[in-house]
Structure 1
Amino acid sequence: MSGLGAEAYRVQAGAELGHLLTWLGPEDTLRGMFFRSLQDAMLTLLGEAAMEACLEEVTGERDFVDFFAYPAVDFLRMVRRAAWLMEERGCEGQETLRMLGHLGTAAFLLSPAGRAMDVLASGTPRRVLENLPMAYQMMSPKGGPVSVTTLGPTRARVNFSRDVLPCAYLEGQLEALLKKAGARGVRIEGRRVGAFSSEFLLSWTEGD
């Protein structure tokens, strides 16, 4: 954690979620796999009551199908409720979002839909990053292009031109993908570079 205190991180996480919820429209969607993986993560972390509390934030359909598209604002409301519930257990905002992104992605990769996409999330860390633009387009159909720049054998920069997820959540997703590919010592630093664009610097060591 940087020099920012836990309260500053909480405010930062809440401000980013508030910004996204304010500006996203009905055309911004996410696949049902995001919703289902968040359900699984909350069920594992806090139990059925917490999972149901998150589902109360959904205004429409609650029986999610992995490859169907649903309003991104509903997912962000679920994420916000999940973060509040985790904060009640002593977790700070940014770390909670990172954890949810990691656990949600790990849960998805074990699902039938995740196994169907396994070819895009398997191999070496560099291969996974090479496939990331295609995988992101499948998971977030209304998202903008993703670019991956190799900075060295175990370093890369990832730019999302239009993403609808908090930076910390995306950090957790990227970490889960790299670790599945055998990466160790993963370090990810993300930041907003525009209203809906973000940049991530990644480094890791190769597994045995």
Structure 2
Amino acid sequence: METAEMLQLRIRAATDKDMLLGIFFDAALNTLTRLLGEAEVAAIRAEVFGKRSVVSFFRYPAADILQLVEQGVKRSKPGSRSYHQVAMELGRSAAGTFVDSQSGKMMSFLAGDKPHRLLASAPAAYKAVTTFGERSYERVSENSARMHFRADLLGPSWQQGVVEQALGSMSQIRPRVRVEVKNASGTDFTAHVEW
């Protein structure tokens, strides 16, 4: 689903106003360290951030996290990881880190283990941690829903990982997520979720 071309289009589309909390950068760097090793991630960190440090609750450019996805693929052994796989893995780690945070624990407390309540609260959670994109929730049936993403720079594979991990962690279910991409850059898409 995710391609190099889609990722490049989103990197170019990102502006200085498109920001994301540092907690997700920490999660991405930790995951890349697990996948690639400390030496590779030190090189990636220097390339993407220069001398800047990452603080969990500061905001950083969305383009930087997209460059982490790109570097995660480029620095993997040839053919070992696709853009889709790396983006999904980083999305999963972002969701896992969020679930473990105070905000995630509060969201889990309020939603309980009900998948629909969790998905219905997701658009507000996204607004709290990003400055870009629009998300909405649509209940389809007792065991299915749709999440609509518009102008989402993180892209379909990242968000598929987020949805799968969040529902698995918070609702204790194994969701099936099928993503329908609506444009060339992958900023507009619908996640069809069933459980």
TM over 0.5: yes
Instruction: Note if 1:76 corresponds to 2:63.
Output: no
Aligned to 2:189: 198
Aligned to 2:8: 18
**Structure 1: which 5+ runs fail to align?**
1-8
CA distance in 2, matches of 1:72, 1:17: 12
Q: Is the 8 A contact 2:22 2:58 kept in 1?
A: yes
Aligned to 1:164: 153
Q: Secondary structure, in 3 states, of the residue corresponding to 1:129?
A: helix
CA distance in 1, matches of 2:60, 2:129: 11
Instruction: Note if 1:179 corresponds to 2:168.
Output: yes
Letter in 2 for 1:20: R
Shift in CA distance, 108/117, structure 1 to aligned 2, threshold 3 Å: closer
How far off its partner does 1:89 sit? 6.6
How far off its partner does 1:60 sit? 5.5
How far off its partner does 1:61 sit? 5.9
CA distance in 2, matches of 1:86, 1:190: 25
Q: Is the 8 A contact 1:147 1:158 kept in 2?
A: yes
- What RMSD over aligned residues (CA atoms) do the two structures have, in Å? 2.1
Greater RCO, 1 or 2 (C-alpha within 8 Å, sep 6+): 2
Identity %: 25
Instruction: Note if 1:155 corresponds to 2:137.
Output: no
Pick which of 33-42 and 77-86 moved more.
77-86
**Structure 2: which 5+ runs fail to align?**
none
Q: Secondary structure, in 3 states, of the residue corresponding to 1:136?
A: helix
Q: Is the 8 A contact 1:53 1:81 kept in 2?
A: no
Letter in 1 for 2:190: E
TM-score normalized by the length of structure 2: 0.87
Pick which of 152-161 and 47-56 moved more.
47-56
How far off its partner does 1:149 sit? 0.3
Q: Is the 8 A contact 1:29 1:70 kept in 2?
A: yes
CA distance in 2, matches of 1:15, 1:87: 20
CA distance in 2, matches of 1:108, 1:50: 25
| 1:123-167 CA distance string (max 9 Å, x none) | 222221121011100111x22331100111110000122211121
